[in-house]
Amino acid sequence: QARLVQSGAEVKNPGASLKVSCKASGYTFSDYDIQWVRQAPGGGLEWMGWINPKHGGTNYAQKFEGRVTLTWDTSTSTAYMEMTSLRSTDTAVYYCARDRSVVWLDPWGQGTLVTVSS
Amino acid sequence: QSALTQPASVSGSPGQSITISCTGTSSDIGTYNYVSWYQHHPGKAPKVLISEVSYRPSGVSNRFSGSKSGNTASLTISGLQPEDEADYYCSSYIRFSTYVFGTGTKVTVL
Protein backbone atom coordinates (compact mmCIF):
# COMPACT_ATOMS: atom_id res chain seq x y z
CA GLN A 1 0.00 0.00 0.00
CA ALA A 2 0.99 3.64 -0.31
CA ARG A 3 3.65 4.79 2.11
CA LEU A 4 5.66 7.96 2.72
CA VAL A 5 8.95 7.85 4.61
CA GLN A 6 10.59 11.09 5.69
CA SER A 7 14.17 11.95 6.54
CA GLY A 8 15.37 12.05 10.13
CA ALA A 9 15.32 14.71 12.80
CA GLU A 10 17.42 17.82 12.33
CA VAL A 11 18.91 20.47 14.59
CA LYS A 12 19.66 23.79 12.92
CA ASN A 13 21.07 27.14 13.91
CA PRO A 14 19.00 30.27 13.34
CA GLY A 15 19.56 31.59 9.83
CA ALA A 16 20.45 28.19 8.41
CA SER A 17 18.59 26.27 5.71
CA LEU A 18 16.77 22.96 5.92
CA LYS A 19 15.82 20.28 3.42
CA VAL A 20 13.42 17.50 4.38
CA SER A 21 12.82 14.54 2.07
CA CYS A 22 9.70 12.44 1.65
CA LYS A 23 10.11 9.15 -0.22
CA ALA A 24 6.98 7.58 -1.68
CA SER A 25 6.35 3.91 -2.37
CA GLY A 26 3.41 1.67 -3.17
CA TYR A 27 1.80 3.94 -5.77
CA THR A 28 2.63 5.94 -8.90
CA PHE A 29 4.41 8.99 -7.49
CA SER A 30 3.43 11.36 -10.28
CA ASP A 31 -0.31 10.64 -9.98
CA TYR A 32 -0.86 12.63 -6.77
CA ASP A 33 0.12 15.96 -5.27
CA ILE A 34 2.30 15.97 -2.17
CA GLN A 35 1.21 18.34 0.58
CA TRP A 36 3.40 19.69 3.37
CA VAL A 37 2.06 20.44 6.84
CA ARG A 38 3.80 21.37 10.08
CA GLN A 39 2.96 21.33 13.76
CA ALA A 40 4.82 23.55 16.21
CA PRO A 41 5.13 22.44 19.84
CA GLY A 42 1.77 22.83 21.55
CA GLY A 43 0.23 24.09 18.34
CA GLY A 44 -2.10 22.85 15.64
CA LEU A 45 -1.57 21.65 12.11
CA GLU A 46 -0.52 24.33 9.66
CA TRP A 47 -0.76 23.96 5.89
CA MET A 48 2.44 24.96 4.06
CA GLY A 49 1.96 24.12 0.41
CA TRP A 50 1.79 21.44 -2.26
CA ILE A 51 3.64 20.20 -5.30
CA ASN A 52 2.33 18.33 -8.33
CA PRO A 53 5.02 15.85 -9.42
CA LYS A 54 3.44 15.35 -12.84
CA HIS A 55 3.29 18.95 -14.00
CA GLY A 56 5.72 20.58 -11.55
CA GLY A 57 3.11 22.99 -10.28
CA THR A 58 3.45 24.34 -6.75
CA ASN A 59 1.44 26.48 -4.40
CA TYR A 60 2.44 27.92 -1.05
CA ALA A 61 0.67 29.38 1.93
CA GLN A 62 1.28 33.11 1.85
CA LYS A 63 3.20 32.85 5.11
CA PHE A 64 5.87 30.66 3.47
CA GLU A 65 6.12 32.31 0.06
CA GLY A 66 9.73 33.11 -0.73
CA ARG A 67 11.14 31.07 2.15
CA VAL A 68 9.96 27.58 1.26
CA THR A 69 10.65 25.72 -1.97
CA LEU A 70 9.02 22.42 -2.84
CA THR A 71 10.77 20.17 -5.33
CA TRP A 72 10.69 16.55 -6.41
CA ASP A 73 12.69 13.81 -8.08
CA THR A 74 10.57 11.41 -10.09
CA SER A 75 13.47 8.98 -10.56
CA THR A 76 13.52 8.30 -6.81
CA SER A 77 9.83 9.09 -6.08
CA THR A 78 10.96 11.65 -3.54
CA ALA A 79 9.56 15.05 -2.67
CA TYR A 80 11.56 17.72 -0.87
CA MET A 81 10.72 20.71 1.29
CA GLU A 82 13.46 23.32 1.60
CA MET A 83 13.20 26.21 4.02
CA THR A 84 15.68 29.06 4.34
CA SER A 85 16.42 31.68 6.99
CA LEU A 86 15.31 29.42 9.82
CA ARG A 87 14.18 30.96 13.09
CA SER A 88 13.23 29.50 16.44
CA THR A 89 9.56 29.70 15.54
CA ASP A 90 10.20 27.17 12.75
CA THR A 91 10.81 24.51 15.39
CA ALA A 92 8.14 21.95 14.55
CA VAL A 93 7.33 18.51 13.25
CA TYR A 94 7.09 18.66 9.46
CA TYR A 95 4.83 16.20 7.63
CA CYS A 96 4.38 15.30 4.02
CA ALA A 97 1.15 13.69 2.85
CA ARG A 98 -0.28 12.37 -0.40
CA ASP A 99 -3.30 14.32 -1.59
CA ARG A 100 -5.74 11.69 -2.87
CA SER A 101 -8.29 14.34 -3.70
CA VAL A 102 -8.91 17.88 -2.56
CA VAL A 103 -7.74 18.02 1.08
CA TRP A 104 -7.97 14.21 1.37
CA LEU A 105 -4.51 13.59 2.75
CA ASP A 106 -3.61 9.93 2.97
CA PRO A 107 -1.18 8.55 3.85
CA TRP A 108 1.04 10.87 5.88
CA GLY A 109 4.74 10.54 6.45
CA GLN A 110 5.95 9.78 9.97
CA GLY A 111 6.99 13.39 10.50
CA THR A 112 10.39 15.05 10.80
CA LEU A 113 11.24 16.95 13.96
CA VAL A 114 13.17 20.11 13.22
CA THR A 115 14.68 22.05 16.09
CA VAL A 116 16.03 25.54 15.45
CA SER A 117 18.24 26.67 18.28
CA SER A 118 21.57 28.31 18.86
CA GLN B 1 -6.07 33.12 5.93
CA SER B 2 -7.08 32.48 9.52
CA ALA B 3 -7.47 28.97 10.88
CA LEU B 4 -10.93 27.48 11.01
CA THR B 5 -12.44 27.67 14.50
CA GLN B 6 -12.88 24.53 16.57
CA PRO B 7 -13.66 24.11 20.27
CA ALA B 8 -10.48 23.57 22.25
CA SER B 9 -11.81 20.50 23.98
CA VAL B 10 -14.76 18.13 23.97
CA SER B 11 -15.31 15.26 26.36
CA GLY B 12 -17.68 12.34 26.74
CA SER B 13 -18.13 9.04 28.48
CA PRO B 14 -17.61 5.70 26.76
CA GLY B 15 -20.59 4.85 24.56
CA GLN B 16 -21.78 8.43 24.26
CA SER B 17 -21.83 10.52 21.10
CA ILE B 18 -19.97 13.79 20.74
CA THR B 19 -19.88 16.40 17.98
CA ILE B 20 -16.98 18.67 17.08
CA SER B 21 -17.75 21.83 15.15
CA CYS B 22 -15.53 23.57 12.63
CA THR B 23 -16.54 27.11 11.75
CA GLY B 24 -15.25 28.92 8.71
CA THR B 25 -16.61 31.57 6.41
CA SER B 26 -18.47 31.91 3.15
CA SER B 27 -15.03 31.90 1.47
CA ASP B 28 -14.16 28.37 2.53
CA ILE B 29 -16.57 25.91 4.17
CA GLY B 30 -19.58 27.91 3.04
CA THR B 31 -18.61 27.66 -0.62
CA TYR B 32 -16.72 24.41 -1.08
CA ASN B 33 -17.67 20.83 -0.26
CA TYR B 34 -14.03 20.02 0.41
CA VAL B 35 -13.85 19.55 4.15
CA SER B 36 -11.81 16.78 5.70
CA TRP B 37 -11.34 15.59 9.27
CA TYR B 38 -8.19 14.10 10.78
CA GLN B 39 -7.48 12.21 13.97
CA HIS B 40 -4.06 12.84 15.49
CA HIS B 41 -2.62 10.84 18.32
CA PRO B 42 0.47 12.67 19.69
CA GLY B 43 3.69 11.28 18.28
CA LYS B 44 1.93 9.58 15.38
CA ALA B 45 0.97 10.66 11.88
CA PRO B 46 -2.49 12.16 11.44
CA LYS B 47 -5.14 9.87 9.98
CA VAL B 48 -7.97 10.92 7.69
CA LEU B 49 -11.45 10.13 8.99
CA ILE B 50 -13.71 12.04 6.61
CA SER B 51 -13.18 13.70 3.23
CA GLU B 52 -15.45 15.85 1.05
CA VAL B 53 -17.64 16.75 4.04
CA SER B 54 -19.16 13.32 4.67
CA TYR B 55 -17.27 10.64 2.75
CA ARG B 56 -15.75 8.00 4.98
CA PRO B 57 -12.70 6.34 3.39
CA SER B 58 -12.38 2.59 3.40
CA GLY B 59 -11.13 1.27 6.72
CA VAL B 60 -12.49 4.13 8.82
CA SER B 61 -14.97 3.11 11.50
CA ASN B 62 -18.61 3.96 10.78
CA ARG B 63 -18.72 5.54 14.23
CA PHE B 64 -17.27 8.65 12.56
CA SER B 65 -19.54 10.80 10.43
CA GLY B 66 -19.33 14.27 8.91
CA SER B 67 -21.79 16.94 7.86
CA LYS B 68 -21.99 20.60 6.94
CA SER B 69 -24.46 23.42 7.35
CA GLY B 70 -23.67 26.86 6.04
CA ASN B 71 -20.21 27.90 7.15
CA THR B 72 -19.90 25.16 9.78
CA ALA B 73 -18.81 21.56 9.36
CA SER B 74 -19.22 18.94 12.04
CA LEU B 75 -17.67 15.62 12.99
CA THR B 76 -19.73 13.24 15.10
CA ILE B 77 -18.19 10.34 16.97
CA SER B 78 -20.76 7.77 18.02
CA GLY B 79 -20.22 5.09 20.64
CA LEU B 80 -17.19 6.87 22.07
CA GLN B 81 -14.30 4.52 22.88
CA PRO B 82 -11.11 5.03 24.90
CA GLU B 83 -8.98 4.87 21.74
CA ASP B 84 -10.87 7.88 20.38
CA GLU B 85 -9.00 10.08 22.82
CA ALA B 86 -6.88 12.21 20.49
CA ASP B 87 -6.69 15.58 18.77
CA TYR B 88 -9.04 16.21 15.86
CA TYR B 89 -8.56 18.70 13.04
CA CYS B 90 -10.80 19.86 10.25
CA SER B 91 -9.43 21.16 6.97
CA SER B 92 -10.98 23.02 4.07
CA TYR B 93 -10.16 24.14 0.58
CA ILE B 94 -10.13 27.93 0.41
CA ARG B 95 -9.50 29.17 -3.13
CA PHE B 96 -6.77 29.29 -5.69
CA SER B 97 -5.72 25.78 -4.59
CA THR B 98 -4.92 26.78 -1.03
CA TYR B 99 -6.04 25.09 2.14
CA VAL B 100 -6.49 25.76 5.84
CA PHE B 101 -6.69 23.63 8.97
CA GLY B 102 -8.83 24.13 12.01
CA THR B 103 -7.47 25.12 15.42
CA GLY B 104 -7.83 21.56 16.68
CA THR B 105 -9.99 19.88 19.33
CA LYS B 106 -8.75 17.65 22.12
CA VAL B 107 -11.20 14.84 22.77
CA THR B 108 -11.16 13.32 26.23
CA VAL B 109 -12.91 10.06 27.07
CA LEU B 110 -13.99 10.29 30.68
B46 contact partners, CB below 8 Å, separation of at least 6: A37, A45, A95, A97, A105, A108, B38, B39, B40, B89
State the Cα–Cα distance between residues B102 and B25, nearest whole angstrom. Answer: 12
| B95 band by pLDDT with thresholds 50, 70 and 90 | confident
Which of B34, B46, B96 is facing A103, going by the closest CB pair?
A: B34
CB atoms within 10 A of CB B20: 22
**Residues present in chain A in total:** 118
CB atoms within 10 A of CB A46: 18
Res. B27: pLDDT tops 80:
yes
Radius of gyration of chain B (CA): 13
A114 contact partners, CB below 8 Å, separation of at least 6: A9, A10, A11, A12, A18, A20, A86, A90, A91, A92, A93, A94
- A103 to chain B: which residues are within 8 Å by CB? 34-36, 51, 91-93, 99
Any A CB within 8 A of B5 CB: no
CB atoms within 10 A of CB B96: 6
Q: State the average pLDDT over residues A52-59.
A: 93
- B46 to chain A: which residues are within 8 Å by CB? 37, 45, 95, 97, 105, 108
State the Cα–Cα distance between residues B97 and A65, nearest whole angstrom. Answer: 14
pLDDT in tens, A16-33: 999 999 999 999 999 999
Res. A57: pLDDT tops 90:
yes
